[in-house]
């Protein structure tokens, strides 16, 4: 299901709860203006609630390497042997949306044609009165009133009723709710709420007419007489547009107690509880210590260093045979990037550092494509990282059920200048001597092998004298060095004297 449909589903749930509360608790009250305003404002709030994130859950993340697989596209996705899944829900939603749109447009066109058939007279209040020679149910739209010439002369209360619709801006309410039913056409409570809103419009207009001295009994008889056999326009506000019995009952009803307004407050805990149930969780990642060392170390050098970030990772979708780079695992690519990145002079001079994240895809042919920056640090640093990643040699693709697949990776990179943000590191204590620091494991737990001799200490090693370095972990380290390599092994080879 697409994010859009998930959003529509969540907002529809909020709307259903909101409208159900209104129908059960407030529809019979005489707070016409309050109910109308809250019905409109509440609808807007229901559209906004799915966007909010109200829970934060701390999720531990296991450090497993510099690269993280975040998506796998099977060869069946775009290969000739199988088709993509048919988006039935999206198609059904689109069909319903178009059907309702056509129905609404048809009603609007019919209304406009009717307006054009009459004689238009301008009123002192800026409205237009369209008089029809035929017997037609009166209605209003925007600032236009349409009624028969006979009703305009014999029933002034009808004109007062339509003028009340215009003064109170009921057309704007109708337009907004038309959009709501168009988006949520599948939700029956949305249609019922639309009907109730139009009924509130009639209550307000009736109340305005009676406040101007019109006899209530005569007005009610006029409603009964005009309500028989009349056609209606679905969008317009009409003199006999709503349920007649409800309108008459509301005219006879005693004003509701002011305390009943507080019933709206009961809705707040209901909506808040629903937010906690249906809103997506925003996770806060926490690093989880691992028995295995990270694959790529951070090295502090006399010159600025470009460092692959191996401090944290996210879970990934497994493939049966993962892509490989130059015969090794994904960490070989981290080493390759580290060797080819050049710290831009502009960023170096400005002292710019930071962590950026790149995403790319290893295709079924092994070529690296679709590289993009997910989170940048600086334009020059971002451009340099993209340059190197885009120049990557071909990979060996991953496989699922014997077929090559597309695998998407995220690749974090730390740009760091020597001697900054290291606390009381050895490099700060002695600027002439650089040190090696590792993420993901305590240095004392690692087995350091220098020129074939075990037991070397990182603090005693000068990176300038190191020719090459290999990291072993897991079964590979145990098979070669036994139990001593259980927490990981770093093999280093010193530079030979010239």
Contact 448, 490 (CB under 8 A): yes
Please state the rounded mean pLDDT for residues 412-430. 54
Per-residue confidence (pLDDT) for residue 170, from 0 to 100: 92
Q: What is the pLDDT of residue 344?
A: 83
Residue 240: pLDDT above 60?
Answer: no
The per-residue pLDDT for 298 is: 37
Residue 465 has pLDDT above 50, yes or no: yes
pLDDT tens, residue by residue, 93-102: 999 999 999 9
Distances (CA, A) of 296 to 157, 381, 445: 84, 20, 16
Contacts of 49 (CB under 8 A, 6+ apart): 10, 11, 14, 271, 275, 279
Number of H helices, E strands in the chain: 16, 19
> From residue 313, how far is each of 82, 97, 288 by CA, in Å?
32, 41, 10
Q: What element of type H or E holds 320?
A: none
Q: pLDDT band for position 67 (50/70/90)? A: very low
Q: What is the mean pLDDT of the chain?
A: 75
Mean pLDDT in residue range 257-267: 83
Mean pLDDT along residues 280-288: 42
Note the pLDDT tens digit of each residue in 18-55.
Answer: 999 999 988 889 888 999 999 999 999 999 888 876 55
Closest by Cα among 89, 116, 67 to 357: 67
Question: Which residues on neighbouring strands pair with residue 5, listed in sequence order?
Answer: none
pLDDT one-digit tens code per residue, 201-234: 999 999 999 888 888 888 888 888 776 544 455 5
Specify the pLDDT at position 136. Answer: 85
Helix (H) or strand (E) holding 342: none
- Separation of CA 484 from chain center: 49
Instruction: Give the pLDDT of residue 276.
Output: 67
Is the model's pTM score more than 0.75? no
Mean pLDDT score, 145-172:
90
CB 385 within 8 A of CB 356: yes
Question: Which residue reads 């019922």 in tokens?
Answer: 192
């Amino acid at each position: 299901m697409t994010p859009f449909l998930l959003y529509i589903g969540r907002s529809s749930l909020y709307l259903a709860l909101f409208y159900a509360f209104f129908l059960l608790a407030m529809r019979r009250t005489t707070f016409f203006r309050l109910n109308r305003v809250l019905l409109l404002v509440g609808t807007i709030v229901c559209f906004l609630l799915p966007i909010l994130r109200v829970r934060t859950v701390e999720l531990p993340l296991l450090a497993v390497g510099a690269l993280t697989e975040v998506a796998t596209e099977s060869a069946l996705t775009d290969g000739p042997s199988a088709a993509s899944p048919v988006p039935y829900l999206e198609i059904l939603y689109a069909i319903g949306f178009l059907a309702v749109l056509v129905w609404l447009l048809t009603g609007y066109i019919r209304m406009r044609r009717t307006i054009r058939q009459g004689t238009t007279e301008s009123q002192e209040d800026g409205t237009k009165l369209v008089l029809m020679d035929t017997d037609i149910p009166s209605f209003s739209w925007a600032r236009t009133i349409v009624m028969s010439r006979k009703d305009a002369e014999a029933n002034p209360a009808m004109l007062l009723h339509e003028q009340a619709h215009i003064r109170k801006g009921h057309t704007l309410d109708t337009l907004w709710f038309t959009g709501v039913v168009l988006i949520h056409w599948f939700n029956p409570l949305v249609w019922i709420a639309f009907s109730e809103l139009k009924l509130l419009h009639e209550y307000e207009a009736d109340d305005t007419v009676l406040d101007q001295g019109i006899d209530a009994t005569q007005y009610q008889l006029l409603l009964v007489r005009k309500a028989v056999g009349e056609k209606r326009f679905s969008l317009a506000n009409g003199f006999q547009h709503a349920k007649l019995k409800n309108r008459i009952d509301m005219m006879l009803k005693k004003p509701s107690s002011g305390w009943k307004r507080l019933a709206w407050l009961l809705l707040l805990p209901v909506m808040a509880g629903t937010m906690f149930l249906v809103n997506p969780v925003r996770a806060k990642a926490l690093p989880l210590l691992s028995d295995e060392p990270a694959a790529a170390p951070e090295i502090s050098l006399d010159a600025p260093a470009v460092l692959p970030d191996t401090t944290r990772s996210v879970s990934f979708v497994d493939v049966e045979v993962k892509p490989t780079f130059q015969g090794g695992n994904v960490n070989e690519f981290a080493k390759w990037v580290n060797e080819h990145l050049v710290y831009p002079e502009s960023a170096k001079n400005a002292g710019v550092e930071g962590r950026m994240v790149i995403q790319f895809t290893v295709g079924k042919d092994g070529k690296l494509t679709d590289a993009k920056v997910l989170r940048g640090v600086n334009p020059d640093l971002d451009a340099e990282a993209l340059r190197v990643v885009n120049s990557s040699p071909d990979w060996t693709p991953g496989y699922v059920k014997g077929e090559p697949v597309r695998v998407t990776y995220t690749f974090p990179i730390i740009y760091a200048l020597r001697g900054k943000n290291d606390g009381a590191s050895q490099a700060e204590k002695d600027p002439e001597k650089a040190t090696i620091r590792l993420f993901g494991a305590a240095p004392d737990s690692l087995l350091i092998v220098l020129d074939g001799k075990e037991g070397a200490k990182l603090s005693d090693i000068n990176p300038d004298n190191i020719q090459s370095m290999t990291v072993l972990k897991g079964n590979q380290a145990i098979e070669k060095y036994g139990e001593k390599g259980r927490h990981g092994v770093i093999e280093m080879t010193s530079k030979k004297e010239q």
